[in-house]
């Protein structure tokens, strides 16, 4: 944009609301988090002392923190992988049935609107050991299900709930990606006698790889930060530490454990991770524009 | 269709229908569960077909106090959720459209610094900096208020980016023509820019309404007064009782009511929703 309005004060006036909200609710808390990460505060906030990097050192030597990292990685990659695989399969099928496409799309996208906490609760009732139909069905096949006591079961439960919510999002992006694949390429391959499966793996899938990579990053960010409600409403991080993802631990240590220094140090680490992921996402988008 | 393979088309429909069923199954169970009496669950598994206590449960949940420390009924919390969702949606759209306008159509010192400050907020979801943000709200004595519920969630770089991208595609000739015709910045904004951004605003509104309605952790932390409880967060209170004492029928009716408004918005405004979703990620 070369043509602009010659005003000096007006742009500041227009920017003021957003800058004010950003400063008060983003920069100030972020600065507070960084500051607190270097202090040890008692639970009542009466006194505090500067401890340098001690909070970070404590964290990095804390086996619970490592467990939380491992749990987060298992959870996020399971959600991302499952969500992408299921959505891709559904999108490929939906791309084949042109006439009924909108019908299926409508019936597949609505879970996006369901709050994570609610998704957690309805999957909990499905899998509840005493009343859940799925738990009963598993019992019929000789599998004892109890996500209250068994950590693997608890992890599977939160992964299913989180994936269920994310399929709609991935589906829409894959469908858009599939529709952008040039028909002429597919036709040429079909004339050369390539089967639908071969055409998918040699033409469609490689052309979809930018979409897939983009969705991988978005899904990981989603699993890292937006699934708090699922964990809190269903397992509460338990049994033991088995579903305590890092975002949940920040909350748990800060508000329940009242260990402000440690919670702040974890916030700072998480901010670093979000920063890195945002940069990856943006670099990727820049690259896609040049395609 | 490249070639005619009827079996493949049939297979596609089967897989899609399976997908649709798998996605809808939990809602079916939740709906069925809400039509039975609490006693039905004591005896064993949730029945797979509707009971005849649906109207009773839904009526009770909607109009009488939710219980377990929540003294307000569901319709009241729905109003709170609605106020919060609308405040977030309108607030975000309003402040981000004017700040994008300032960044694109004006030249002033520190313009790119302002842009970067806004950009940084992309990296700070509220869950990550939850403790210090809570302290800030408490310092400003905004706990238990609509302002406290909505304001911290209003600043977001995504909406500003979306408007910035679309403003950048507006040809300079249009601005020039408007200026020659004597239109000042305000007139240009209201008579040209706003009408041009109608679809973008509507698409963004759909996404932000869902975002606002579905907030969970933030209202959970900053409201201790029933008068400000939102519906999604109240679920946590309803299931935080001893195992076996959970009134699943009421919980499920509440869950259905809590997901209904955003689901209606998504299905009813599907086109705008898809546009908003795809645009706000680019």
Task: Tell me the domain boundaries of chain B.
Answer: 34-280
Q: What is the mean pLDDT of residues B19-33?
A: 85
Distance CA A179, CA A177 (A): 5
Question: Cβ–Cβ of A93/B127 closer than 8 Å?
Answer: no
Task: Annotate chain B with three-state secondary structure.
Answer: CCCCCHHHHHHHHHHHHHHHHHHHHHHHHHHHHCCCCHHHHHCCCCCCCCCCCHHHHHHHHHHCCCECCECCCHHHHHHHHHHHHHHHHHHHHHHHHHHHHHHHHECCCCHHHHHHHHHHHHHCCCCCCHHHHHHHHHHCCCCCCHHHHHHHHCCCHHHHHHHHHHHHCCCHHHHHHHHHCCCCHHHHHHHHHHHHCHHHHHHHHHHHHHHHHCCCHHHHHHCCCHHHCCHHHHHHHHHCCCCCCCCHHHHHHHHHHHHHHHHHHHHHCHHHHHHHHHHHCC
Q: Which residue in A90, A110, A187 is closest to B2 by CB distance?
A: A187
- Please tell me if residue A137 touches chain B, with a CB cutoff of 8 Å: no
- For residue A291, pLDDT over 50 is answered with no
- Please tell me if residue A250 touches chain B, with a CB cutoff of 8 Å: yes
**Other C-beta atoms within 10 Å of A226: how many?**
18
Q: Which of B34, B51, B216 has the highest number of chain A CBs within 10 A, making it the mutation to test binding with A?
A: B216
Contacts of B2 in chain A (CB under 8 A): 183, 186-187, 190
User: H or E stretch including A286?
Assistant: helix A260-290
- Please tell me if residue B136 touches chain A, with a CB cutoff of 8 Å: yes
- What pLDDT shows up at residue B26? 86
Contacts of B232 in chain A (CB under 8 A): 115, 117-118, 229
Question: Cβ–Cβ of B95/A17 closer than 8 Å?
Answer: yes
Better-predicted residue by pLDDT, B255 or A43: B255
- For residue B219, pLDDT over 70 is answered with yes
CB pairs under 8 A between A and B: 299
Question: Cβ–Cβ of B127/A164 closer than 8 Å?
Answer: no
Which chain A residue is nearest to residue B179, measuring alpha carbons?
A: A5
CA dihedral sign of residues B218, B259, A215, A248: positive
Rg of chain B over Cα atoms, rounded to whole angstroms, equals 24
- What pLDDT shows up at residue A64? 86
Contacts of A11 in chain B (CB under 8 A): 102-103, 106, 108, 111
Better-predicted residue by pLDDT, B189 or B63: B189
Contacts of B255 in chain A (CB under 8 A): 118, 121-122
Q: Which stretch of A215-224, B6-15, B56-65, B147-156 has the lowest confidence by average pLDDT? A: B56-65
Q: Which of A4, A15, A88 has the highest number of chain B CBs within 10 A, making it the mutation to test binding with B?
A: A15
- For residue A87, pLDDT over 90 is answered with yes
Cis before A237 (ω within 30): no
Contacts of B243 in chain A (CB under 8 A): 148
- For residue A83, pLDDT over 90 is answered with yes
Q: Which stretch of A279-283, B172-176, B188-192 has the lowest confidence by average pLDDT? A: A279-283
- What pLDDT shows up at residue B252? 84
Question: Cβ–Cβ of B127/A225 closer than 8 Å?
Answer: yes
- Please tell me if residue A14 touches chain B, with a CB cutoff of 8 Å: yes
Q: What is the mean pLDDT of residues A187-199?
A: 85
Contacts of A131 in chain B (CB under 8 A): 41, 44-46, 248
Q: Which band of pLDDT confidence, cut at 50, 70 and 90, is reported for residue A290?
A: very low
Which chain B residue is nearest to residue A110, measuring alpha carbons?
A: B263
Contacts of A117 in chain B (CB under 8 A): 216, 232-233, 235-236
- What pLDDT shows up at residue A287? 58
- Please tell me if residue A103 touches chain B, with a CB cutoff of 8 Å: no
Q: What is the mean pLDDT of residues A115-123?
A: 89
**Cα separation of the two ends of chain A:** 23
- Please tell me if residue B170 touches chain A, with a CB cutoff of 8 Å: yes
Q: What is the mean pLDDT of residues B22-43?
A: 79
Q: Which band of pLDDT confidence, cut at 50, 70 and 90, is reported for residue A171?
A: very high
Better-predicted residue by pLDDT, A86 or B122: A86
Does this model's pTM top 0.80? My answer is yes
pLDDT tens sequence across A129-167: 878 888 888 888 888 888 788 888 889 999 999 999 999
State the DSSP code for A5: B
Chain A nearest C-alpha distance from B20 (Å): 6
What average pLDDT does the structure give for chain A? 84
The domain ranges of chain A are 70-290
Q: Which stretch of A2-6, A70-74, A146-150, B258-262 has the lowest confidence by average pLDDT? A: A2-6
Question: Cβ–Cβ of B19/A114 closer than 8 Å?
Answer: no
ipTM: 0.85
Contacts of B214 in chain A (CB under 8 A): 113-116, 229
Question: Cβ–Cβ of B248/A131 closer than 8 Å?
Answer: yes
- What pLDDT shows up at residue A285? 62
**Other C-beta atoms within 10 Å of B125: how many?**
19
Q: Which band of pLDDT confidence, cut at 50, 70 and 90, is reported for residue A47?
A: confident
- What pLDDT shows up at residue B66? 66
- Please tell me if residue A157 touches chain B, with a CB cutoff of 8 Å: no
B residues 40-69 closer than 8 Å to A (CB): 41, 44-46, 48
Domain spanning B34-280: CATH superfamily: MetI-like (1.10.3720.10)
Which chain A residue is nearest to residue B269, measuring alpha carbons?
A: A106
- Please tell me if residue B142 touches chain A, with a CB cutoff of 8 Å: no
Question: Cβ–Cβ of A228/B216 closer than 8 Å?
Answer: yes
Question: Cβ–Cβ of A5/B168 closer than 8 Å?
Answer: no
- For residue A67, pLDDT over 50 is answered with yes
Question: Cβ–Cβ of B127/A250 closer than 8 Å?
Answer: yes
- For residue A82, pLDDT over 90 is answered with yes
Question: Cβ–Cβ of A228/B217 closer than 8 Å?
Answer: yes
pLDDT tens sequence across A213-254: 888 888 988 888 888 888 888 887 778 788 888 888 888 888
Q: Which stretch of A53-62, A153-162, B240-249 has the lowest confidence by average pLDDT? A: B240-249
Residue A29 vs residues A275, B73, B251: alpha-carbon distances, Å: 16, 34, 35
pLDDT tens sequence across B116-161: 888 777 767 777 777 788 888 888 888 888 888 888 888 777 888 8
- For residue A51, pLDDT over 60 is answered with yes
- For residue A2, pLDDT over 60 is answered with no
Question: Cβ–Cβ of B155/A25 closer than 8 Å?
Answer: yes
Class of domain A70-290: mainly alpha
- Please tell me if residue B102 touches chain A, with a CB cutoff of 8 Å: yes
């Amino acid at each position: 944009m070369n043509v602009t309005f010659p005003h000096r004060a007006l742009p500041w006036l227009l920017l003021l609301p957003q800058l004010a909200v950003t400063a008060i609710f983003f920069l100030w808390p972020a600065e507070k988090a960084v500051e607190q990460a270097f202090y040890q505060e008692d639970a009542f906030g009466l006194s505090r002392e500067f401890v340098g990097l001690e909070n970070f050192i404590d964290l990095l030597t804390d086996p619970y923190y490592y467990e939380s990292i491992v749990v987060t990685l298992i959870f996020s990659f399971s959600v991302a992988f499952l969500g992408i695989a299921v959505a891709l399969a559904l999108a490929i099928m939906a791309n084949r049935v042109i006439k009924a496409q909108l019908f299926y799309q409508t019936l597949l996208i609505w879970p996006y609107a369901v709050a994570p906490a609610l998704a957690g609760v309805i999957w909990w009732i499905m899998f509840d050991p005493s009343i859940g139909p799925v738990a009963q069905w598993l019992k019929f096949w000789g599998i004892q299900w109890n996500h209250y006591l068994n950590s693997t079961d608890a992890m599977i439960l939160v992964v299913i709930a989180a994936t269920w919510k994310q399929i709609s999002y991935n589906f829409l992006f894959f469908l858009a990606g599939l529709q952008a694949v040039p028909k002429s390429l597919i036709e040429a391959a079909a004339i050369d006698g390539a089967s639908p499966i071969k055409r998918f793996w040699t033409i469609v899938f490689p052309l979809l790889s930018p979409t897939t990579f983009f969705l991988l990053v978005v899904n990981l960010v989603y699993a890292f930060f937006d699934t708090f409600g699922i964990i809190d409403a269903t397992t509460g991080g338990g049994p033991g530490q088995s579903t305590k993802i890092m975002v949940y631990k920040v909350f748990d240590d800060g508000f329940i454990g009242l260990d402000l220094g440690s919670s702040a140090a974890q916030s700072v680490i998480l901010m670093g991770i979000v920063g890195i992921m945002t940069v990856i996402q943006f670099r990727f988008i820049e690259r896609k524009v040049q395609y | 269709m490249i070639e005619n393979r009827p079996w493949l088309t049939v297979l596609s429909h089967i897989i899609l229908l399976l997908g649709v069923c798998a996605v809808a199954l939990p809602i079916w169970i939740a709906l069925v569960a809400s039509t039975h009496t609490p006693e039905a669950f004591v005896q064993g598994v949730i029945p797979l077909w509707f009971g005849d206590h649906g109207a009773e449960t839904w009526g009770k949940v909607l109009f009488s106090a939710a219980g377990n420390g929540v003294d307000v009924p569901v319709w009241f919390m729905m109003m709170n959720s609605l106020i919060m969702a609308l405040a977030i949606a309108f607030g975000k759209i309003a402040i981000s459209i004017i700040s994008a306008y300032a960044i694109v159509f004006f030249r002033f010192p520190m313009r790119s610094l302002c842009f970067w400050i806004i950009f940084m907020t992309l990296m700070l979801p509220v869950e990550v900096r939850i403790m210090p943000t809570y302290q800030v709200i408490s310092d400003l004595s905004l706990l238990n208020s609509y302002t406290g519920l909505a304001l911290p969630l209003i600043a977001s770089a995504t909406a500003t980016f979306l408007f910035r991208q679309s403003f950048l595609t507006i040809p300079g000739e249009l601005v020039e023509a408007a200026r020659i015709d004597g239109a000042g910045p305000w007139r240009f904004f209201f008579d040209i820019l706003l009408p041009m951004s109608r679809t973008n605003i509507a698409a963004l509104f759909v996404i932000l309404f869902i975002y606002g309605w579905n907030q969970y952790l933030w209202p959970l932390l900053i409201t201790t007064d029933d008068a400000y409880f939102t519906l999604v967060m109240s679920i946590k209170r309803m299931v935080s009782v001893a195992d076996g004492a959970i009134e699943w029928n009421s919980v499920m009716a509440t869950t259905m009511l809590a997901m209904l408004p955003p689901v209606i918005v998504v299905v009813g405004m599907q086109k705008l929703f898809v546009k908003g979703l795809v645009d706000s990620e680019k």
